[in-house]
Every structure is written in C-alpha cells, then in structure tokens.
Structure 1
Amino acid sequence: MTVNYKLLRTSGKLAKRTPLRIVSIKKDVTGIESICQRIQQATTFTTADILGTISALKTELTEELKSGNTVHIPGIGFFSLALKGDIYEDPKTHRHYLHNAAVRKIRFRPDKDFYEALGEVDFANKTYKDGTPSLPMRQAVNAALKELFEEKPIITVNDLRRRLNLSTTYAYQLAAQLEREKKIINIGSRYRKIYRKT
C-alpha cells in the first residue's frame, strides 16, 4: 500500500516562508460495504451487527457533542465541537456575547495508538507524473516563454504544459491568461490554437 503525494506551489504570504506545500492524492473513497465485508470475514460480527453498531455510535456521539461534551473512543481519538457566530459587545456592560451561534466543524484529535497502528507507510512522489495542478510562478512562466520562442516561432498549449509540467486544465487556463495579458497571440483557430509572440 502506498500513499501518493504532489508538491504544489504556495501563494500569498505563505510562499515567502515555504515555496511548496505537500498534498496527498486521494485514490478512492472506501465505502462502508467493503469495510463491513472485511470486518465480517475477520470476526464473528455480521454486516447487520456492524451497521447497527455504527448507527448507535453515531446517535450517542451526536447526543454527547450536543451536550457540550468531548467524546473519547479509545484507540481512535477525541471528538469535540468548534463553534462559529457573530461576536458583539454589549454597549452598557461591555461584555461580549455570541449571536447566531452554530457548529463550525467537528474537531478530531487521534489517539497515539491510532498513529502507531499506521506503522511504516510507503510514500510515492507523483508531482511530475500527470503535471502539477496549479499555476506556476510568474518568473517561471516568463522564462518558459522565452525558451520556447527561442526554440521555434510558434508554440501550442501542449508546449506550455510540458515545459512547465502542468495538468492539461491548468495549461489551458495559463494560455488564456497569457492571451488576455497580450503576451501571446492566437494565429490558429478557436479550437486549434497556435500562438506566436506579441
């Protein structure tokens, strides 16, 4: 079993501290049916037993969180609520209150046992396999355009994609952006674009 990841460029203030961020690539979503089948094969529980237990656990977990409690499931971790709302100050008492309080998210803090159960994990870098799904930095784009036009007088979206290691979607987005900025001009058709330098 392998966890795949890509290294993507960061933007804004974060880019000054760390130019790249690590993003795990989600392979599939495992459904409850396949989990139930594996548990059923490994234990004496039936699929109905497992589904019933999960349903009851969900009910209990919901009731405890609604009561303001933190729930600990040994070997898995702690569940608690994070809140949101509009904070306002009472002009007379200068005390602060919360209007429109709501659940922002359910926090989960895993147990140490949960981490240890993962054991050794194999990782694979897929950054350069299918192209990076993010727009590159301005300097990289300018350098790529310069190199491409030095090699030949016209370029395609595919040239941009390969040179900058982009996904197909982002390569087309970048080409459209460069057209808007008048850095390249389409001399082909609407559906078969070929670009020359302005």
Structure 2
Amino acid sequence: MPIKFDLFENPEREGVEVPEFHAKVITKGLETTRTLRESIQKKCTVTASDVEAVLTALGDEMFEAFSNGYSVYLHGIGYFSLSLKCSPDINLNNISSSDIKVKGIRFQPDKELSRRLSNVEFVHMKNSGRHSSKMNLSEITEKIEKYFTDNQILRRPDFEKLTGFNKSKSIRTLKLLVEEGMLKNIGTMRMPIYVLR
C-alpha cells in the first residue's frame, strides 16, 4: 500500500525567490505495542505475551546501555544513541553532571531497512488541515490590531486561530513581529505572552 504524503512550503529565505518545498508523510495513526505484538504473533511462533516480555526487556536493556555510555545497534532496525544538551551559558571551568541533560535519542536506520524502504511507493494527497494559510505582513498587522481592540494579551494559540498558521509558522511570525517592534513579549521564552508596543 502506498504511503500518502503532502508537500509543504519551506520558510522564506533571503535571496530565494522561487518557493521551495519539503514532503511529509500523512500519518495514518500509531502502531502501538499491542498492535505490534498481535501482528508479530501471527507471523511467527511466539505468543503476544512473549513479544510483550521481549519488548519490555529490550527497553530495560537499552536504558542500561545508554546509562553506561553505549549506543545500541539492533540488526535490521538500526542504531540508537543519546543526544545531549547543556545550558548555553555553561561555565567551562566548573561543569557538573547537573549541567547536562538528555535532549533525546537519535535513530539511524540500518542499511537493510533503508534499502527496503527505498522500494516503497508514494501517493500525493492534499491535506489542507496541516497547511498554514497564506497572509502577507500587512494583513497580519491588520488582524492583530483588530484583535487587540477586544483583548489585552495574545498567546501563540490565539495567533494560530487568528491567522490559520500552524505552530511552527506562528512561532516564526511572532518572533518577526517582536523584532519589527509591533509586539512585545511580557511572558517568558517558554511561555510567551504578547502585547502591542
């Protein structure tokens, strides 16, 4: 069965006049442990509860490996490794364990899995619910000014409803509006609250 995808316009870049696009999978849903164990049970001699036990043990073993500074390789699946982060203003002369946090887990597919995926088919499906609306800066400004006639503050979800932009485009646009001097963030970096300047 072909994988459904849609094309999304990249954020505008200085000096690039022709729009550039990137493709994203239109995800059908989520395969859970329950659905995977039942599917595996139908394809081989292990029971669903055996699969559950192995997956639980695998999660525990991966945690142990990561905790001891190892990456993990699963044949036919790929490589897993920790990604770290630290505060940008870290003191290089006094670094402690508490200064470092786990950012996430990187995954690099096995060559065999990549090879198998190179043969899948794709079908273009327009998914209007995931696209941001198109609006120029003067239209955005007009909507914001009208919004503030009835409201004291603006949050990102309010801006998304106001403009029809998705989350990432809203974040970029709000940042631009702050830089341009139209809006001011009176909240925090993580929880911004905007007011008119």
TM range (shorter): 0.5 to 0.7
Structure-1 residue corresponding to 2:4: 4
Relative to the length of structure 1, the TM-score reads 0.60
CA RMSD of aligned residues (A): 2.9
Partner Cα separation in structure 1 for residue 107 and residue 124 of structure 2: 27
How many residue pairs align between the two structures? 140
Partner Cα separation in structure 2 for residue 14 and residue 73 of structure 1: 42
The AA in structure 2 aligned to 1:8 is: F
Stretch deviating more after TM superposition (43-52 or 9-18): 9-18
Matched, 1:49 2:39: no
Instruction: Tell whether the 8 Å contact from 1:65 to 1:80 is kept in structure 2 after alignment.
Output: yes
Partner Cα separation in structure 2 for residue 121 and residue 27 of structure 1: 16
Percent identity for Structure 1 against Structure 2: 26
Instruction: Tell whether the 8 Å contact from 1:2 to 1:124 is kept in structure 2 after alignment.
Output: yes
Q: Unmatched 5+ residue regions in structure 1? A: 142-169, 175-198
Instruction: Tell whether the 8 Å contact from 1:9 to 1:136 is kept in structure 2 after alignment.
Output: no
Structure-2 residue corresponding to 1:178: none
Instruction: Tell whether the 8 Å contact from 2:90 to 2:99 is kept in structure 1 after alignment.
Output: no
Larger radius of gyration: 1
Q: Unmatched 5+ residue regions in structure 2? A: 140-159, 165-197
Structure-1 residue corresponding to 2:28: 27
Relative to the length of structure 2, the TM-score reads 0.60
Measured after TM superposition, the shift of residue 117 of structure 1 is 2.7
Matched, 1:65 2:66: yes
Output one character per residue of 1:124-158: Cα deviation in whole Å (capped at 9) or x when no partner: 1113x64661122639x9xxxxxxxxxxxxxxxxx
